[in-house]
């Protein structure tokens, strides 16, 4: 009988110790702030400096328009990845500067340049900084020069 009690005590001690070590391992995992993330997500800014030739303009208003244009050439900027490709056709929308009430600021120089694009016709060309995002597509961020 004595051996059974000793055996039971050793078994209980072993079970108790194994439970404690699992808890301490979980605590170590929770306190570890250097866990590697095998799939890190990052936001990367893209911009392309391009020359666009207008194929068509869908104009619904002075500030509500889209330009279908072909990229004649792309100027590479080593600081930003360029997603635009030469000889590709893109649907571009102006990226206006907005005030705190989310209205277009009509006196902003960048906005004036973007609004002036609505007056272009097929065959006209302009240089611009464009970028792409998943929700809005291709955006004209800045007009560099119109021809």
Q: SS3 for 55?
A: strand
What is the pTM for the complete model shown?
Answer: 0.67
Do 106 and 68 sit in the same domain of this protein?
Answer: yes
Residues 63, 130, single domain; the answer is yes
20 and 57 both lie in a single domain: no
CA-closest candidate to residue 141, choices 91, 86, 78, 97: 97
Residue 147 or 73, more confident: 73
78 in the same domain as 110: yes
Query: Which residue(s) pair with 134 in the sheet?
Result: none
pLDDT digits (tens, 9 = 90+) for 7-57: 666 655 665 666 554 445 555 555 555 455 555 555 567 899 999 999 999
Mean of the per-residue pLDDT values for the chain? Answer: 82
Q: Report DSSP letters for 24-46, one per residue.
A: HHHHHHHH------SS-------
- Residue-range definition of the domain harbouring residue 1: 1-30
Within 32-135, where are the H helices? Answer: 109-116
Residue 41 lies in a domain: no
Number of domains in the chain: 2
Q: Up-side HSE of residue 131: CA atoms within 13 Å toward CB?
A: 13
């Amino acid at each position: 009988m004595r051996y059974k009690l000793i055996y039971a005590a050793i078994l209980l001690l072993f079970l108790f110790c194994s439970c404690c070590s699992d808890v301490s391992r979980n605590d170590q995992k929770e306190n570890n702030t250097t866990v590697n993330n095998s799939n890190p997500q990052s936001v990367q800014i893209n911009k392309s400096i391009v020359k666009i030739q207008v194929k068509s303009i869908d104009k619904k208003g002075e500030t509500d328009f889209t330009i279908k244009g072909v990229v004649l050439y792309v100027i590479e900027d080593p600081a930003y990845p360029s997603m635009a490709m030469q000889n590709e056709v893109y649907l571009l929308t102006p990226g206006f500067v907005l005030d705190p009430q989310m209205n277009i600021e009509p006196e902003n120089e960048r906005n004036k340049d973007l609004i002036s694009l609505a007056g272009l016709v097929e065959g006209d060309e302009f240089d611009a900084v464009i970028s792409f995002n998943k929700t809005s597509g291709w955006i004209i961020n800045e007009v560099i020069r119109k021809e």
